[in-house]
Structure 1
Amino acid sequence: MKELTKAEEEIMQVLWQLERAFVRDIREQLPEPKPAYNTVSTIVRILENKGFVGHDAFGKSHQYYPLIAQDKYKSFFLKNFMSGYFSGSFEKLVSFFAKDNNLNVQELDQLMQHVKANLDEEDPDDGSNA
């Protein structure tokens, strides 16, 4: 999987939200100033070539849909981001945000409790049933 450009990601965000859309539908959801129809169409075709988007043909029109789930891309992006900026270390990432946002010990504790709760939800069988 390749990392998306900012313009490609903006189009994908719309497609993930709409699930299926024609170029005009995608363009309507983009913020002002809206890019030209041809620009959106070109970006969608690039996304299709990269394997992010598929389409169904209706005559000369194409309805596009995501081939990559948003969560899958989010996970890919975060792993790349962490390896590129924090040597793949979650601890370094949290430390950076703690320093950059002046988090106190209580806020850090709440953050860690939130992370732990999310991990517990993802893996309800923690081995205690053995």
Structure 2
Amino acid sequence: MSGETSLNVLLRSMSPALNPGEYVFASVPEGSDLQRVQVIGSFREREGLTVIIERQEAELLGLACGYVMAWITLNVHSSLEAVGLTAAFATALGEAGISCNVIAGFYHDHLFVGKDDAHKAMTVLRELAANAH
């Protein structure tokens, strides 16, 4: 299944869902034991491995937890080739003053917003979906 590519269909049916918990992006030092940690996502950069994990797990590992986030999943199966979805929700959230970090999975887009902005972000995303043509 390749996923949806029509921007209007994607926006109308994105169906955002707020996942429970508090999440952080953290840089993990070389040689860290992550086998006992539930990593939500990761990306290797020149400077080290960035992981997305629950705040409690980061604290147990002694990792910095400066920006605590909420995790929103867009439940529409968006194609990795779709054009405009990220721009549309990033613009809407930006206009509302909400910072957003995006991870595109094979099936869904995952948005990480400040924990205190989670409900406001959900409102913005639902309005965006409702107003899509």
Normalising by structure 2, we get a TM-score of 0.24
Higher RCO (C-alpha 8 Å, min separation 6): 2
Whichever structure has more strand as a proportion of its residues is: 2
